Structure 1
Amino acid sequence: MSIAQKTKVVEVVPYDPEWKVEFNRIREQLLSYVGDLIIMIEHVGSTSIEGLAAKPIIDLDLVMDSYDVLPQIIERLQQYGYEHQGNMGIEGREAFKRQQADGFMKYHLYVCPKDGKGYLEHIAFRDYLRSNPAASQAYAEVKQRLADQHRYDIDAYCEGKTAFVTSILSKAMK
């Protein structure tokens, strides 16, 4: 089962400055687990873009030098209660699910190689929207409309965003 299928209600809320604080809390915890095996941890997804309405779920990319260290990362994260879910159909991105409550707000955890398509797209998309307020506002409107239309269908919500995301990536990945 994918992470997306777990979401019962699609809820897009106004930007909350606490998301940045929460990312840093989660980041510190993860660094204590695997900091020696990774290059960095990036805050990606809509919660990483100041002012952007989003589903209140933090997306984190743990960036590794290469897949050579993935087995060690999987083993280490398992020791701390994370289940490796594979790439869930997206090359260059390995998903992990927390098995028990850890006191943080909801978050999605991915491990990506520094040259992986999933990671590079996450960063390009985030940085483009951070530097283009009009595009960020347009994305907020798309997400709110889709959340209203597909409140109980996360797959339709995600599918509805695809054209917009693809158009941004075509500009951002040049």
Structure 2
Amino acid sequence: MFVEVVPYNPQWKKAFNAESEKLIAALAENLVFIHHIGSTAIPNIHAKPIIDFLIEVKNIDLITEQTSAIEKLGYEAMGEFGLSGRRYFRKENPSGIRTHHVHIYETNSPEIKRHLAFRDYMIAHPENAEQYSQLKQELAQKHPYNIEGYMDGKNEFVKRMEKKAMRSQTFMNQSDRL
């Protein structure tokens, strides 16, 4: 997998909104909220052009029954994919290039708070977001065909920012909830 990091694209928000409408229909009454997370949700930073969704549901066990509806939207079901309590789906375009990640958690999962805290902290602290953007660009150049190396290289920075975010309590901006 080629690690591509591109400049911020304002179309990412529109792509998030368009895909959210489809996911709302697939998840029906089990849906609580859909959040735009990941680097495409942070204005003005470089990112892999993959839209990340964090979806809160009432009952995570119902996702098993709803998987076929999500798969009909072109997603591949990956189960927990290494994170207990999560249901993970990914989608590729017709050329086989990854375009979407869906992370589903039951409401009140601490993972929801962690993801939103990081995103909101980065938005509220553009100097840290710029550092993250620079790091991502450097790592993509250093590890163009090694996604693990790219991810490992971001890990320390992300963990440090998550700690700051959780302490600052600047998160929980609900402007992207659908």
Shared fold per TM-score greater than 0.5: yes
The correspondence of residues 40-119 of structure 1 with structure 2, limited to 5 A, is 40-78=33-71, 80-98=73-91, 101=94, 106-119=99-112
Residues in 1 aligned to 2:12 and 2:92: alpha-carbon distance in whole angstroms: 22
Q: Is the 8 A contact 1:39 1:64 kept in 2?
A: yes
Q: Is the 8 A contact 2:60 2:85 kept in 1?
A: no
- Tell me which residue corresponds to 1:137: 130
What is the identity percentage for the equivalent residue pairs of Structure 1 and Structure 2?
35
- Tell me which residue corresponds to 2:17: 24
Residues in 2 aligned to 1:106 and 1:113: alpha-carbon distance in whole angstroms: 24
Give ranges in structure 1 of 5+ residues lacking alignment.
1-7
- Out of 132, 150, 160, the residue aligned to residue 157 of structure 1 is 150
Could you say if the C-alpha distance between residues 172 and 10 of structure 1 is closer, same or farther in structure 2, counting changes exceeding 3 Å? Answer: same
Residues in 2 aligned to 1:100 and 1:14: alpha-carbon distance in whole angstroms: 20
CA shift at 1:75, angstroms?
Answer: 4.5
In the superposition, the TM-score normalised over structure 1's length comes to 0.85
In the superposition, the TM-score normalised over structure 2's length comes to 0.84
Residues in 1 aligned to 2:30 and 2:16: alpha-carbon distance in whole angstroms: 19
What's the RMSD between the two structures over aligned residues?
A: 1.9
- Tell me which residue corresponds to 1:128: 121
CA shift at 1:94, angstroms?
Answer: 1.2
Q: Is the 8 A contact 1:62 1:111 kept in 2?
A: yes
Residues in 2 aligned to 1:137 and 1:33: alpha-carbon distance in whole angstroms: 36
Give ranges in structure 2 of 5+ residues lacking alignment.
168-178
- Tell me which residue corresponds to 1:3: none
Q: Is the 8 A contact 1:57 1:107 kept in 2?
A: yes
Residues in 2 aligned to 1:96 and 1:81: alpha-carbon distance in whole angstroms: 10
CA shift at 1:90, angstroms?
Answer: 1.9
Q: Deviations over 1:48-91 (max 9, x none)?
A: 01111100000011211233433333353245554321221123
